Amino acid sequence: MPEPFSSFTSKVIPLPAENVDTDQIVPARFLKVTDKAGLGEALFRDWRFEADGSLKEPRFVLDEPEMAGRRILIAGDNFGCGSSREHAPWALVAWGVQAVITTSCADIFQGNALKNGLLPIIVDPERLAQLFDLVERDPNVELSVDLESQVVHLPGDEDLPFNVDPFSKLMLLRGTDEMGYLLGKAAEIDAWEAAHPARVDTRPT
Amino acid sequence: MTGQNGNGVTSSTPPRTLVDKIWDDHVVAEGRGAPSVLAVDLHLVHEVTSPQAFTGLRRRGLRVRHPERTVATADHSIPTTPRDLPILDEMAAAQVRQLEDNCREFGVPLHGIGDPNQGIVHVIGPQLGLTQPGMTIVCGDSHTSTHGAFGALAFGIGTSEVEMVLATQCLLQRRPKTYEVAVDGRLAPGVSAKDVILALLARIGVAGGTGHVFEYRGSAIEALSMEQRMTICNMSIEGGARAGLVAPDDTTFEYVAGRPHAPKGADWDAAVERWRALPTDDGAAFDKTIEIDASALEPMVTYGTNPGMGLPISAQVPDPAAAEDDQRRRGLEQALAYMDLLPGQPLLGQKVDVVFIGSCTNGRISDLRLAAAALKGRKVADGVRMMVVPGSDEVKREAEREGLHEVFRAAGADWREAGCSMCIAMNGDQLSPGQYAVSTSNRNFEGRQGKGGRTFLASPLTAAASAVAGAIADPRLLPGIETLAVVGGR
């Protein structure tokens, strides 16, 4: 279960690519794990390393020394498209990323991220372009993410408001997960099932 | 909940879409501000996205609420070499063992390695009659959209959600928006379902359907076999839509009838009556609509590194300089650099090293029949490796009953055991860096079929024609193509 999501301030990791798919975030060969440990090392593996294990030259953005410890990723449209693998947000969180600012996330990725304490912050294309410009001008610019108030504080007292699903927001702020909520619906589920016979039986015929 | 009348003719019921009807039928509870609790009829499980979910259940002391509405198979990480050989990859072997242990402990039916019903999860569901119209179906796999071909609301979920469905047989969901994909007209010989979906993706892009569920409609969709419909629904996720559906009709009922888990006798009659009420009512509104003229479609091939980067086979690779904005231009430049293709270069004649026929997109018996028909009496070109991987053990047996494996072998192709294989390339079946493949699978992402490998997505007919030519080739030029009907599969 994730920790309660609190406000934080961080410099940013710029990744100005569109349609970053989950095969890039965690290549499939790292999906043979049976737990969640060690996935930070798999993050963007094939964009970071050559076949012989050496770092790519020029280095992928995550491997630039000044990127260490940064917790906000800024990415192009449709981040996290493709495979449903939850290993993608697991790996981002293991690396230390807590928020992804983009113009849209793929639906399954967005749901997976929110369940793991990773906040997708969806902004319009003009604001995203401004943010990329800001980071280009000042690579060490610091942003503050305030989920409670649903704003990203930019330098110069500028605020960037964002929308978030109210239920997901509550879960994030409490550091709780949806399982408890669903288990709390047991009476409703029992009643529904009593009125709706099973559609299929999967046991061998 | 209303809606017993599928034609929407009661005055109190506004016209509803297929998706609305299935949704309304499965809402267990709605909370203020909270997502709906949605009941799940069928939960499909595989070895890659389930281990952490079962571990979570154990940690919380929970059981599987409905093991008899859950079914598992091993497909992603298993080798496609002969089944009497051990799994050499230690991690894959451990993952498959863990699935077996989890299923035993929690009482979940498993079609594992050696079971005659093993296969790709999205192939065995329909094959066993588990997939039925009007259902909600989920799986920790984005290609769960495949089952939408039966008029089921079927979508991929993450592992946290797998755990929730195991524990409660429910999910927390918000109602999706609807997107009508109207495909009318007649497909030309040599053009098939794969070309329809690649053409849609080329039009709307890989984020075009985000937040939506597709409903594929129109005369061209109605004319398709169930297996062709599955090919289209399968790649809904490639357009950003979690699900894609086709209204159930006589083609659907005929396909489901008599399968092992399909309703029988009076139950069957009652089910068909219920299913006939599912199609979208006249006058129901969609949030978005697109129209596609099927008769204008050519065979399609992708040239880039996402499935939306597709072109008619006779076209040339686009020029990044002509892109509408800087981001698009950079994306296209990166894709062409990865693919080592030049702007303006024709796709036809592009040399290929590997041809892969298989996957949950195009690994069913009718796909193999088409590929075999295109290969019969011909040879795979020198220097080209062709792999044919049936979607399930049953598809393999059926193909062998029909002698298709002899056609593939005589042509010089490799006839394998069932699994996901080179679609996801986590089982050892993979491209070498720099190799080009024509693949009937669903994703051409960088490294998807092996680190450094380059993928052209295409139909089984295009793949087979390209295997013979040793280069991307137009299946419409195959001798006798007019007689190669896009057949169904029973």
Model confidence pLDDT, tens digit, residues B203-246:
999 999 999 999 999 999 999 999 999 999 999 999 999 999 99
Closest CA to B221 of B210, B230, B234, B212: B230
Instruction: Return mean pLDDT, chain B.
Output: 95
pLDDT band at B10 (very low <50, low <70, confident <90, very high): low
Mean per-residue pLDDT of chain A: 96
Residues on chain A touching B447 (C-beta within 8 angstroms) = 23-24, 27, 46
Distance CA(B139)–CA(B159), nearest Å, equals 9
pTM here is: 0.97
The pairing of beta strand B110-111 with beta strand B70-73: parallel
Mutation site for A-interface testing, chosen from B23, B212, B237 by largest number of A Cβ within 10 Å? B237
**For residue B84, what pLDDT is reported?**
87
Question: What is the nearest CA distance from A134 to chain B, expressed in angstroms?
Answer: 17
Q: What is the pLDDT of residue B432?
A: 97
Q: Which residue of A78, A166, A178 is in closest CB contact with B33?
A: A166
Nearest by Cα to B395 from B351, B342, B432, B359: B359
List B454's β-bridge partners, or say none: B436
**Which DSSP symbol is given to B351?**
B
Residue B214 · residue B247 · CB < 8 Å? no
Q: Which of A23, A30, A34, A136 to mutate to test the interface with B (most CBs of B within 10 A)?
A: A34
B residues 127-146 lying closer than 8 A (beta carbon) to A? 130, 132, 134-135, 140-142
Sheet holding B42-46, edge to edge: B110-111, B70-73, B42-46, B136-139, B153-156
CA quadruple A109, A115, A120, A121: dihedral sign: positive
- In the Cβ-directed half-sphere of A81, how many Cα atoms lie within 13 Å? 34
Cβ contact A35–B52 (<8 Å): yes
Closest CA in chain B for residue A21: B445
Q: Residue B464: is its pLDDT beyond 90? A: yes
Q: Across-strand partners of B110?
A: B72
pLDDT tens for residues B249-299?
A: 999 999 999 999 999 999 999 999 999 999 999 999 999 999 999 999 999
Confirm whether the ipTM is greater than 0.95. Answer: yes
**What average pLDDT score do residues B30-42 get?**
94
- Per DSSP, A60 falls in state P
Q: How far is A189 from chain B (nearest CA, A)?
A: 6
Identify any residues that bridge with B45 across adjacent strands, giving them in sequence order.
B72
**Percentage with pLDDT > 70 across chain A:** 100
Q: How confident is the model at residue B376 (pLDDT cuts 50, 70, 90)?
A: very high
User: Which alpha helices (DSSP H) does B154-213 contain, by range?
Assistant: 159-168, 193-204
Tell me the shortest Cα–Cα distance from A41 to chain B, in angstroms: 17
Backbone angles phi, psi at A83, to 5 degrees: -55, 150
Residue matched to tokens 């295409």: B458
Of B299, B309, B314, residue with least CA distance to B462: B299
Q: Which of A180, A192, A193 is nearest to B30 (CA)?
A: A192
C-alpha torsion sign, points B432, B438, B441, B444: positive
For the record, the structure tokens of B1 come out as: 């909940």
